[in-house]
Amino acid sequence: MGERDELPLALHLPHLIPPAPTDPRAVAFLPDLGGLPWVAYAAGSFLVVSHLPSPPRNDSGGSSDAGGSEEDDPFFRQVIDLRAPVSAVAWCRGRGGGELAAAAGNSVSVFQPAPSSSPGSFGWVLKWAITETFAVAAVAWTGSGDGILLVGDGVAMWARTESSLQLTWRFSPQVAQSLASATHFLQGPVATAVAAAAPYAEGSVPPVLVFMNDSKAGLEKAELAHPKPVSMIQWRPRSLFVSDQSEVRREVLMTCCLDGTLRLWSEDEVPKSKKQRALQRSFSVIAAIFWPTYNVLFASFSP
């Protein structure tokens, strides 16, 4: 009997776990929680949370066993039945400490790791639940964890309080959104888009939407036009901002388009004139990378 047999981690009756889906919105990776990597994914109505083992090392240079070994298996796996197809999964990498959001229908459940009743064991338990007015297709936490962005037939931002999540604003787009990305803080801009595979009216490509919630002006929206559908959007992580505090920290949004171009967008400079200041806020392309023979499906900012 090994050490793993002494950990009472079984929280569900034994059953086959379907493989992880190919939709990136339904799979989420957490690189470090307690010094270990974790993965969460949707499998029908189940939310699966699992330790992610490191790839096996083959020091001898020969081929490894086709079946693998016990050491290659996750030491922890939890299955949570949300009783409806799970559409999106997202880890909170800010203050949450392992919090995990999962969307099913118009409900979003937020789970947190907590010790269980069995000695030496733990599991993810429900912390908060959100009921929206629309079916949620994608979820994105802010970098600091002070808010969570929900998109689908609507777009909504919820703010973290000491005891719950509270609605900050909600918007109804003309076309259902299926991609979401948030900046570091709740007060920063957020972006949504229609995924490349989503249906839309022939001859028209829905723009990427950027929302800015200003305490004085209220909710503002900018549209970023693309010649072809967008496959991915991502704001530049705060960790990649320059260390020089004298430089203004601009939010930069990256979009991947099926025309083979990766674009970086930034908000246009705000005019100092009071008359011009009333104009709608806008974004422009500040850099682009073009691959004429490829459709850009995915990219990421990296240190």
Read off the pTM: 0.83
Structure tokens at 159: 């703010």
Confidence class for position 9, pLDDT limits 50, 70, 90: very low
Question: Which class is 138-303 in CATH?
Answer: mainly beta
Per-residue model confidence as pLDDT tens digits over 102-125: 999 999 999 999 987 666 678 999
What is the CB neighbour count within 10 angstroms for residue 150? 28
Percent of the chain with pLDDT over 70: 73
Per DSSP, the three-state class of 48 is: strand
Distance CA 82, CA 79 (A): 10
Distance CA 30, CA 95 (A): 14
Confidence class for position 272, pLDDT limits 50, 70, 90: low
Q: Within 13 Å of residue 102, how many CA atoms lie on the same side as its CB?
A: 31
Lowest mean pLDDT among 15-19, 156-160, 163-167, 209-213: 15-19
* Distances 180 to 3, 42, 208, 231, 250 between C-alpha atoms, Å: 41, 18, 10, 11, 19
Q: Is the pLDDT of residue 270 over 90?
A: no
Q: Is the pLDDT of residue 298 over 60?
A: no
Q: Is the pLDDT of residue 5 over 50?
A: no
Q: What is the pLDDT of residue 294?
A: 58
Per-residue model confidence as pLDDT tens digits over 184-233: 999 999 999 999 876 665 668 999 999 999 888 899 999 999 999 999 99
